[in-house]
């Protein structure tokens, strides 16, 4: 039974195709859709559409659904299409006519946006928390190994002396910036779409400020067409922020893979995080880091899916927008999982201090040597020339 059920039934294969995996993805949204419906019910009561008793019954039953869902016991069937239908059907089954009133003054178009934004806000908060945990792990790592000097690279060639501390801090500072990015991206989503109907307002005067307040939204998003047009647009900025996190993990993984090569030997990965080969008994492979590195590309492709699927469409809801749900949910899930994994990993990385020190070779002090000549009166560019032999520097030549 669909919300828009007609006497003429939808072709079964067409139904399956249009629903896609929405009924599975929507598991993430059941809670938020119920929370939004509770606020909606309260508002309907306030404006006289629902009696107090009806409102209480709806709230009670919606809370039941939340509880069922938290135990994984609230099912969304493929015929239900989505969580909205499954929930309305449940309400009607339990409450009869009262259940049939919940959809007054709203459309699925504003309803799904409300649930998605509540979901995004909560997920953003928990991602923030995971970044903090990673930062703490980085601080621990720095505390343990920070003072160890190691070669610093440019162009994958030894450049100047660096240190494990400097390397670690670079990710701490970046992760702190990521938190700001995340907060800013979430601000956009912190606008209530509820009460704008299908995109062209409603014939009933819904109290939009009330529902916005009940749901903890900073403000209402006023224009109903804009509400629909912002589907995908707002999520795009969230995905951009998440992909900055993923980019940092891509780089951290690239570093850890390179620095733990036997030939460099700065870092060592504990056996329990390495995998083996099906044919080469000696192998100790950093698979987890490689998968982590690759996940950036996966998330990036989700971002581009979202950003292209919404293109070249006229204003107002178009069903294409349904395909923004998977990239959004998947990117959030992957980012959170990746943050947990890198934190766990870092606890199992050791620094080989001997190798780090040994590999800082003399030529890496060329900048220091050059600036000593500067202090003695040479101009920078003359000192640079002087210090080079046939154009390429030989360590200590000018001492």
Residue 267 touching a copy of itself (CB under 8 A): no
Give the shortest CB-214-to-a copy of itself separation in angstroms: 20
- Assigned token pair, 171: 């990710």
Instruction: Considering only residues 322 through 361, tell me which ones interact with a copy of itself, judged by CB under 8 A.
Output: 322-323, 326-327, 337, 340-341, 344-345, 348, 359
Q: Buried b / exposed e across 60-87, counting CB within 10 Å, b at 16+? A: ebbeebbeebeeeebebeebbbbbbbbb
- Interface residue with a copy of itself among 36, 130, 131, 288 (CB under 8 A) is 288
Q: Binding-site residue total for a copy of itself (CB under 8 A)?
A: 173
CA atoms within 13 A on the CB side of 207: 16
Q: Which is nearer to a copy of itself, 214 or 309 (CB)?
A: 309
Give the shortest CB-92-to-a copy of itself separation in angstroms: 7
Q: Which is nearer to a copy of itself, 67 or 183 (CB)?
A: 183
Residue 372 touching a copy of itself (CB under 8 A): yes
- Interface residue with a copy of itself among 51, 133, 180, 358 (CB under 8 A) is 180
Q: Which stretch binds a copy of itself (CB under 8 A): 35-43, 121-129, 132-140, 201-209?
A: 201-209
Q: Which of 243, 132, 227 lies closest to 189, judged by CA?
A: 227
Q: Buried b / exposed e across 169-178, counting CB within 10 Å, b at 16+? A: ebbeeebeeb
Helices (H) and strands (E) in the chain, counts: 15, 8
- Interface residue with a copy of itself among 28, 31, 57, 101 (CB under 8 A) is 101
- Interface residue with a copy of itself among 140, 223, 333, 358 (CB under 8 A) is 223
Residue 145 touching a copy of itself (CB under 8 A): no
Question: By the 8 A CB rule, do 343 and 134 touch?
Answer: yes
Residue 136 touching a copy of itself (CB under 8 A): no
- Assigned token pair, 216: 């903890």
Q: Which is nearer to a copy of itself, 67 or 180 (CB)?
A: 180
Give the shortest CB-239-to-a copy of itself separation in angstroms: 9
Give the shortest CB-18-to-a copy of itself separation in angstroms: 5
Q: Which is nearer to a copy of itself, 67 or 184 (CB)?
A: 184
Task: In whole angstroms, give the CA distance from residue 61 to residue 294.
Answer: 44
Residue 285 touching a copy of itself (CB under 8 A): yes
Give the shortest CB-149-to-a copy of itself separation in angstroms: 11
Instruction: Considering only residues 81 through 100, tell me which ones interact with a copy of itself, judged by CB under 8 A.
Output: 84, 88, 92, 97-100
Instruction: Considering only residues 7 through 36, tell me which ones interact with a copy of itself, judged by CB under 8 A.
Output: 7-11, 13-14, 17-18, 20
Residue 68 touching a copy of itself (CB under 8 A): no
Question: By the 8 A CB rule, do 15 and 2 touch?
Answer: no
Site string for a copy of itself, 202-221 (x = CB under 8 A): xxx----------------x
Token pair 């990036």 is found at 300
Q: Which of 297, 294, 290 lies closest to 345, judged by CA?
A: 290
Q: Provide DSSP, 241-292.
A: HHHHHHHHHHHHHHHHHHHTSTTT-SEEE-GGG-B--SS-TT--B-HHHHHH
Q: Which of 276, 288, 294 lies closest to 349, judged by CA?
A: 288
């Amino acid at each position: 039974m669909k919300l828009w059920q007609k006497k003429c039934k939808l072709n079964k294969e067409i139904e399956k195709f249009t629903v896609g995996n929405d009924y599975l993805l929507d598991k993430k949204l059941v809670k938020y859709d119920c929370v939004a419906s509770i606020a909606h019910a309260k508002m309907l009561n306030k404006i006289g559409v629902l009696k107090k008793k009806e409102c209480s019954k709806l709230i009670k039953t919606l809370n039941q659904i939340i509880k069922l869902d938290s135990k994984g016991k609230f099912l969304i069937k493929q015929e239900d299409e989505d969580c909205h239908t499954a929930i309305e059907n449940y309400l009607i089954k339990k409450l009869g006519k009262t259940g049939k009133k919940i959809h007054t003054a709203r459309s699925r178009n504003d309803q799904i946006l409300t649930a998605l934004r509540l979901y995004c806000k909560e997920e953003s908060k928990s991602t923030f928390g995971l970044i903090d945990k990673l930062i703490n792990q980085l601080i621990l790592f720095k505390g343990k190994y920070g003072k160890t000097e190691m070669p610093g690279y440019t162009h994958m060639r030894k450049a100047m002396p660096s240190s494990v501390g400097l390397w670690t801090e670079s990710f701490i500072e970046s992760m702190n910036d990521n938190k700001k990015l995340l907060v800013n991206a979430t601000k956009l989503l912190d606008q209530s779409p509820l009460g704008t109907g299908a995109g062209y307002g409603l014939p009933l005067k819904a109290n939009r400020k009330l529902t916005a307040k009940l749901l903890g939204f900073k403000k209402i998003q006023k224009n109903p067409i804009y509400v629909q047009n912002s589907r995908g647009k707002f999520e795009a900025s969230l995905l951009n922020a998440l992909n900055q996190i993923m980019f940092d993990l891509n780089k951290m993984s690239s570093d850890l893979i390179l620095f733990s090569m036997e030939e460099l030997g700065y870092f060592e990965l504990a056996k329990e995080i390495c995998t083996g080969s099906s044919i080469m008994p000696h192998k100790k492979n950093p698979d987890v880091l490689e998968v982590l590195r690759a996940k950036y590309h996966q998330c990036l492709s989700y971002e581009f899916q979202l950003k292209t699927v919404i293109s070249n469409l006229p204003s107002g809801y178009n069903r294409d927008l349904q395909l923004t749900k998977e990239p959004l949910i998947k990117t959030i899930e992957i980012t959170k999982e990746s943050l947990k994994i890198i934190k766990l990993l870092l606890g199992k990385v050791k620094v080989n201090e001997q190798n780090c020190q040994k590999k800082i070779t003399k030529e890496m002090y060329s900048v220091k040597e050059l600036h000593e000549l500067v202090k003695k009166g040479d101009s920078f560019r003359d000192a640079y020339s002087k210090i080079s032999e046939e154009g390429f520097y030989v360590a200590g030549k000018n001492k």
